[in-house]
A and B are shown apart, each in its own frame.
Chain A
């Protein structure tokens, strides 16, 4: 998956002003809304403490709760599959699809399904797979991968979306949001009704009842789960909560952290398939529980806590590095600080050993995390581990020092950008910087660094914000007073 290192990908991201603007605009917005909603809600630290305690307890007794969850899924009439790795999980789902002679699979956003390359496995069997989350649908049409775990299509403009939808059969579409979403609604509705299988992720599995809980804003997961005959849930083995009482805590922590929403639009709890006498809902429910490197973190004092993660994305929105380079630069399913820790842990070896360097170690991720995972400490420990294993090359060690210097404080970062711009006049050639001098040395030793934009995004931000605001349409009628930014919360 990652053919090039983080720095090559970061370089290309840094040369894509649209991507940067979109990422920064979105993350700023999510961050501000989160700050507002948690302040209004109050006693946020106490909620975070409770969230961390529940997650820590669950993970420390994961064997017990997983067994209870699996037993209860089965007594509610569902099937449970345990998958040691990505291959096994994909195979389990392919087998279900073949048995059902499935031709069309509809999906709602699930990062685990990307982790196991589910779409590719199904398509190899000649099965069509359609992503139904609006953002995922857009990037699937574009043949791309997500750039943000909560808002996967933040890098696409409405004009690009109009072109994609027109290619997909939309007639006389304008770039109006209503026209574009209207097309998606009509097109996807027919697909929900003709699909053989619906695949969803799982935000939480409730052990005491065997319930699968999904958080969404669009409602597509409800179509995916309820309309096709068969519902397949794919979940990381750590997605468990002991009880419904604990779900109350996460019903506050997750949407408030993810998008700054007070509450998610749809929280859907599935306990087994439809029951006797019920005329809708899936007839068959399968839950695929995935390990894929997760159990290796258990019992490891340094990294066990990464399994507490609820995939809210709050750490991305505050990360100065993510805000500069966007999600694609990480070259992995999980971007941002959580991805920089999780990806190399799940995939040990040289391939992702450079990811922990895509961080300034400023600790903002820890501050933002609703379950207080010490991501910045983990990043340091991962770097040490990689150095000890000889996985970090000299240049990466140098770059790590550089990153630390540059990103240590936003103020210093701004100052460096400014001085760098003045200094680079001397060394810039052909739109790139080849000289191996000064603070960019670690970077330019082996690569060309992009010339810094004439105005940085931070400097250009006030004007840009103005423009983006004006570009925004007023909300649809009947929604006055509705929060300005809503989107789907990711599922694992």
Chain B
């Protein structure tokens, strides 16, 4: 159907005039919710707790050495034949190149996108995290492919404590802001209960999601 005819039908049924102004309304979450704010320490601890409730696992790392030790521990245990990683300088601050040197690593933007289908572990950063719900937000661009965290069995996200917001509304795009082609909010591993209500993990997306939170004083 022609667009204007489609919209005119709606307008007519609603008894509205073309170009009639939109009445004001109470937008977004209730004020008691948007008015809350957690201290930075509480944001970190709430995120870690809720992320675990969703079936993920998060660790707070006091410095880079600790973060490296943990990441190295995971990779040693998982012994992945191939690791997918965000490309360019996106993970530069975490200085993981040395540690990854002894693995087969595919970098987004360099290796062909299709080859990421065979990665077992995907290492990404995130655009923000949400304490309330234990959520990671990934925003796509040329160096931050969606496949890096969608396709592998294990997704490891590296983030700074300061990236953790209290609530979802703080991470969502503001009016007029340029919105990325894909914003992906991840709260724990892929799950299904479609077989006799029995919870199963990793039916399509990653079966394990880990977050390493770098909490360096003053950064």
Contact = CB atoms under 8 A, between A and B. Distances in A.
A440 interface: no
Contacts of A67: 7
A263 B54 contact: yes
Contacts of B192: 134-135, 181, 217-218, 486-488
A211 B179 contact: yes
A223 B204 contact: yes
Contacts of A61: 14, 16, 22-23
Interface in A154-206: 154, 156-158, 161, 177-178, 180-181, 184-185, 188-189, 193
A344 B23 CA distance: 31
Interface in B168-193: 168-169, 172-175, 179-193
A223 B190 CA distance: 12
B169 A481 contact: no
B133 A266 contact: no
Interface stretch (B28-36, B65-73, B92-100): B28-36
B182 A269 contact: yes
A226 interface: yes
Given A177-B198, A268-B185, A242 B203 contact: no
B10 A295 contact: yes
B21 to A, nearest CB: 9
A248 B28 contact: yes
Nearest to B49: A481
A8 interface: no
Contacts of A377: none
Interface stretch (B40-48, B142-150, B211-219): B142-150
Contact of A50 (B30, B117, B187, B188): B30
Contacts of B135: 263
B141 interface: yes
A193 B145 contact: no
B89 interface: no
Chain A: number of interface residues, binned into ranges: 35 or more
Interface residues of B, number: 81
A136 to B, nearest CB: 8
Contact of A226 (B29, B182, B186, B188): B182
Contacts of B196: 22, 156-158, 177, 468, 471-472
Contacts of B202: 181, 185, 476
A249 B167 CA distance: 11
A73 to B, nearest CB: 12
Interface string A55-67: 0010011111011
A487 B30 CA distance: 28
Nearest to B18: A63
A278 B141 contact: yes
B181 A262 contact: no
A265 interface: yes
B27 interface: yes
B201 A63 contact: no
B52 interface: yes
Nearest to A137: B194
B146 A486 contact: no
B54 to A, nearest CB: 7
A249 B173 CA distance: 15
Contacts of B191: 217-218, 265, 482, 486-487
Contacts of B181: 76, 270-275, 278, 281
Nearest to B148: A280
A181 B141 CA distance: 31
A271 B179 contact: yes
A154 B172 CA distance: 35
B199 interface: yes
A123 interface: no
Interface in A231-272: 237, 242-249, 251-252, 262-272
Given A263-B134, A280-B113, A82 B199 contact: no
A482 B55 CA distance: 5
A53 interface: yes
B29 A245 contact: yes
B9 interface: yes
Contacts of B75: none
Interface in A110-155: 132-135, 138, 151-154
Interface in B125-163: 133-135, 140-142, 145-147, 150
Contacts of B142: 277-279
Contacts of A463: none
A478 B189 CA distance: 10
A156 B198 CA distance: 12
A485 B190 contact: no
Interface of B: 1-3, 6-11, 13-16, 20, 22-23, 25-30, 32, 50, 52-55, 57, 108-109, 113-114, 117, 133-135, 140-142, 145-147, 150, 167-169, 172-175, 179-208
16 contacts: A57-B25, A63-B10, A82-B1, A134-B192, A189-B117, A209-B173, A217-B190, A217-B191, A219-B203, A237-B10, A262-B50, A266-B187, A278-B142, A471-B196, A485-B197, A485-B199
Given A222-B205, A267-B184, 15 more contacts: A43-B30, A46-B32, A61-B23, A64-B20, A80-B3, A248-B172, A266-B185, A278-B140, A278-B141, A279-B109, A295-B9, A475-B201, A476-B202, A479-B201, A486-B199
The 7 nearest A-B residue pairs measured at CB: A219-B205, A245-B28, A135-B194, A277-B142, A298-B13, A482-B55, A263-B133
